[in-house]
A and B are shown apart, each in its own frame.
Chain A
Amino acid sequence: MSLQNGSPASSVPGSRHPGQSGVREALIDLGAIRRNIDAVRAQTGCTQVLADVSCDGYGHGALRVARAALEAGVSGFLVARPGEAASLRRAGVSVPIVAWQVQDAAALAEAARERVDVAVDSVQGLDAAARAGVRGVHLALDPTGGELARVEWEALCRAARRGVVPVHGVLARADRPDEASAAFLEEALGILRQEGLQPRFVHLHDVEARARMLAGEDTVRLAATLYGLSADPDGDTADDAWPEPVLTLTAPVVAVKDVGAGEGISYGYTYVTARPTRVLLVPLGYGDGIPRRSGNLARVGVRGVTLPVAGRVAMDALMLDASELLDRGIDPAVGEIATVIGRAGWPARRWARVLDTTSLDIVSRLGPRISRVEA
């Protein structure tokens, strides 16, 4: 087993435990992806699920997430840019894909080549898509947009009715759903139907937003929820078990050092030991996506105890004060598995709360030195 070639796949799906690789590791639980999708279908009654695998599956790996999602019966995928869809198509993904952030003529041409739908929010956008030969569009609507957005929406629906490009969906973006936007959305769908348009996918992201705003529609779009995370700080305050986080981040302890009392740890000596202790070196730092400001704030799990991150997080490593393990008579050594995100450490949502951000932000920005492996 050569470390440089990555770790061997486990022979029984779902049996792999975090940290077996002996390297910096993000273990992706594909079963959790499937369970999250099944739970959403059960909760919403929707039969059509669109899975957002933008940004390489928000750090999880778009291809493996797509594979698991297809096994769970999703109807289609979202990506941010057409280039992301190309690798899905090459991997044999044939279900509908929509690229929702399309930039210019080159991107539209790529969308046409890869048989990818694009999101358009204006008549000019629709015309450009038509000229490029794109196979279909999703009309993009911002229900918080107000009167001007309503006028533009009417013009867009009228233009779409000409049928130059088939309308396959309505993509509604409402990060803060409220009464006014729910009413707007209902009205907008009325306008759409008056123009005789009946797209297959009318979708609003996320389960909660959808439940409040889109009664009677059969499609739900999953982004953060798919990964057991939240794109909204409020979503990270809940402590319930669902949705189920998909990613576990671990690394081996690569060095241990016994230091005396009153010793400064890491750059600038922002942490000083109160008593003699053992310091554990973990090879994850801000170059791997652990925010630099986590120092003296966050905790990492070792042998069932979460230890404080001592001192500044460096580019390639962080240090843990193992006093609380020594107090329990536990003797941590090189090779121990340190759980940075996961059941044996802090969940991503706790990191998000402590760092005043969202769990999707934390996981999306985990860096390339971390090997992604599948459970």
Chain B
Amino acid sequence: MTETALQIPGTAAIIDLGALRDNIATLRRRVAPAAFMVVVKADAYGHGAVQVARAATAAGVRDIGALDIPNALALRRGGIGPTVRILTWLYMPRQDFTRAVDEGIELSASSVAELDRIASSRSSRTPAVQFSIDTGLHRDGATAAAWPRLMRRAAELQREGLIAVRGVWTHIAEASEEEDTAAMRRFDTAIQVASGLGVRFPLRHLAASSAAYRRADVRYDMVRVGGHCWGIPSFDGVTAAQMGLTPVMTLVTTVVGVVRRGAASYARLPIGYADGLPREARGIVSVAIRGRRHILSEEIQATSVLVPVPGDVRPGDRVHLFGTGAHAEQTVREWGDLLGTLGDEIVARLSPRLPRVYLDPR
């Protein structure tokens, strides 16, 4: 079903699940034989975690990155069943793991304290645990100094049948190719240290969208991909089209009125910063109406913005803010470049109240 066939009133984020499936297929081919995890944190960067996970798993993806337990449980409730592995790695200090273990969610541990809390859940199931090592990003993961103690504890709990060890992973900083290579060496060393202490990992993963696309040597057993699935390039010098990807989200609205100030006409658009249109976009990004681009030159209010337009623009005209470019609109990656940020930030910060419309759910 095409966008034009849909009656979309007002403002909406249109999410093309056909394009999502095509992007995932392209990316999976590229990284094969490594497995492919679709990362759906922050509501799949604003695209809808459950909808994206359903489309991905229907297309054969068997690994989902959920970030935290509330998101993971919502995915199980949304029909992502036990044949799909769901990984979490961010917990609040008083997190109870019982329900997560009951639902077969895979839990990442960065410290002995975390591991012990996971192992002492009141579930009758054995927790499936992955281990996170800090290879330089200094965010999640055990430091190299803390790693041997964590591995000794893991070996002990595994021997006692209190955990099932499923994998080892890390995040890299992508400050430079050399530093990422150094991170890989630290990762390999950590795996060797663990092996010496009796802990072996069925699954090893290091790379996220950018490194996974650009380098074959980082892919290990699996890669974790978010932004590239929805067609937002994560590194400089390349467009989605050049990568063989299509932007999945198109942000649209409708002209609700035309205001005259002196000799000039302004279209009033019912979208503003409380919907997720950044105030700092003023004077920088364009919107497309009737196949022409118009810069958002006026102040962006909480729920509306005026845009100067020529005399032929009418109430009811469709407005494309960002998308594939098919209607002369910019891509969200272009908006990110123009605003000095990532397309990821723009889509992830769209208001949850802004309606999502799904094309091609199959």
Q: Is the CB of B349 within 8 A of A286?
A: yes
- Return the contact of A231 from the options B96, B260, B302, B349 (Cβ within 8 A): B302
Cβ–Cβ < 8 Å partners of A145 in chain B: 261
Interface with B: A187-195, A207-215, A252-260, A340-348, which one? A252-260
- Return the contact of B261 from the options A3, A148, A254 (Cβ within 8 A): A148
Q: Given that A254-B93, A266-B139, A292-B342 are contacting pairs, would A101 and B41 also be in contact in the complex, using a CB cutoff of 8 Å?
A: no
For window 287-306 of A, CB contacts with B under 8 Å fall at 287, 289, 291-293
A59 to B45, CA, bound (A): 19
A354 CB within 8 Å of chain B: no
Q: Given that A54-B303, A264-B173, A267-B175 are contacting pairs, would A293 and B341 also be in contact in the complex, using a CB cutoff of 8 Å?
A: yes
A133 CB within 8 Å of chain B: no
Q: Given that A255-B110, A257-B143, A264-B175 are contacting pairs, would A103 and B10 also be in contact in the complex, using a CB cutoff of 8 Å?
A: yes
A330 CB within 8 Å of chain B: no
Contact flags A332-358 to B (C-beta < 8 A → 1, else 0): 001100000000000000000000111
- Return the contact of B41 from the options A104, A125, A316, A360 (Cβ within 8 A): A316
B167 CB within 8 Å of chain A: no
Q: Is the CB of B90 within 8 A of A316?
A: yes
A23 to B68, CA, bound (A): 12
Tell me, rounded to whole Å, the shortest Cβ–Cβ distance linking A370 to chain B.
11
A268 to B304, CA, bound (A): 35
Cβ–Cβ < 8 Å partners of A223 in chain B: 302
Tell me, rounded to whole Å, the shortest Cβ–Cβ distance linking A137 to chain B.
15
Cβ–Cβ < 8 Å partners of B254 in chain A: 103-104
Cβ–Cβ < 8 Å partners of B256 in chain A: 101, 103-104
Q: Is the CB of B257 within 8 A of A254?
A: no
A326 to B345, CA, bound (A): 33
A358 to B272, CA, bound (A): 14
- Return the contact of B138 from the options A59, A259, A315 (Cβ within 8 A): A259
Interface with A: B18-26, B273-281, B287-295, which one? B273-281
A364 to B351, CA, bound (A): 9
Count of chain A residues with Cβ under 8 Å from any Cβ of B? 67
- Return the contact of B42 from the options A148, A175, A259, A316 (Cβ within 8 A): A316
Specify the chain B residue showing the minimal Cβ separation from A310. Answer: B138
Q: Given that A22-B94, A54-B302, A334-B93 are contacting pairs, would A365 and B274 also be in contact in the complex, using a CB cutoff of 8 Å?
A: yes
A55 CB within 8 Å of chain B: yes
Q: Is the CB of A252 within 8 A of B304?
A: no
Cβ–Cβ < 8 Å partners of B136 in chain A: 264
A184 CB within 8 Å of chain B: no
Q: Is the CB of B352 within 8 A of A368?
A: yes
For window 107-147 of A, CB contacts with B under 8 Å fall at 107, 121-122, 125, 145-146
Tell me, rounded to whole Å, the shortest Cβ–Cβ distance linking A33 to chain B.
18
For window 323-346 of B, CB contacts with A under 8 Å fall at 340-342, 344-345
Q: Is the CB of B260 within 8 A of A287?
A: no
Q: Given that A3-B96, A257-B138 are contacting pairs, would A364 and B349 also be in contact in the complex, using a CB cutoff of 8 Å?
A: no
Count of chain B residues with Cβ under 8 Å from any Cβ of A? 60
A122 to B258, CA, bound (A): 11
- Return the contact of A316 from the options B67, B69, B93 (Cβ within 8 A): B67
Q: Is the CB of A365 within 8 A of B93?
A: no
Q: Is the CB of A4 within 8 A of B344?
A: no
- Return the contact of A254 from the options B92, B344, B352 (Cβ within 8 A): B92
Cβ–Cβ < 8 Å partners of B341 in chain A: 292-293
A146 to B264, CA, bound (A): 12
Q: Is the CB of A148 within 8 A of B90?
A: no
A218 CB within 8 Å of chain B: no
Q: Given that A264-B173, A287-B41 are contacting pairs, would A360 and B302 also be in contact in the complex, using a CB cutoff of 8 Å?
A: yes
A56 CB within 8 Å of chain B: yes
Q: Is the CB of A252 within 8 A of B138?
A: no
Q: Is the CB of B110 within 8 A of A364?
A: no
- Return the contact of A364 from the options B70, B137, B274 (Cβ within 8 A): B274
Tell me, rounded to whole Å, the shortest Cβ–Cβ distance linking B43 to chain A.
8
Tell me, rounded to whole Å, the shortest Cβ–Cβ distance linking B237 to chain A.
16
Specify the chain A residue showing the minimal Cβ separation from B42. Answer: A287
Interface residue ranges, A against B (CB under 8 Å) = 2-4, 22-24, 54-56, 58-59, 80-81, 101, 103-104, 106-107, 121-122, 125, 145-146, 148, 175, 223, 231, 252-255, 257-259, 263-269, 279, 281, 283, 286-287, 289, 291-293, 314-317, 319, 334-335, 356-358, 360-361, 364-365, 367-369
A-B contact pairs, 28 of them (CB 8 A): A22-B93, A55-B302, A55-B351, A55-B353, A56-B353, A81-B270, A103-B10, A104-B9, A104-B316, A121-B257, A122-B257, A148-B260, A257-B143, A259-B143, A263-B138, A264-B179, A267-B137, A268-B173, A281-B139, A286-B344, A287-B45, A287-B348, A293-B340, A317-B90, A357-B280, A358-B279, A365-B273, A365-B276
- Contacts beyond the supplied A58-B302, A292-B342: 8 A-B pairs with Cβ under 8 Å: A104-B9, A223-B302, A257-B143, A315-B348, A334-B113, A364-B273, A364-B302, A365-B276
A-B complex: 5 closest residue pairs judged by Cβ atoms: A287-B42, A55-B274, A269-B175, A80-B303, A335-B93
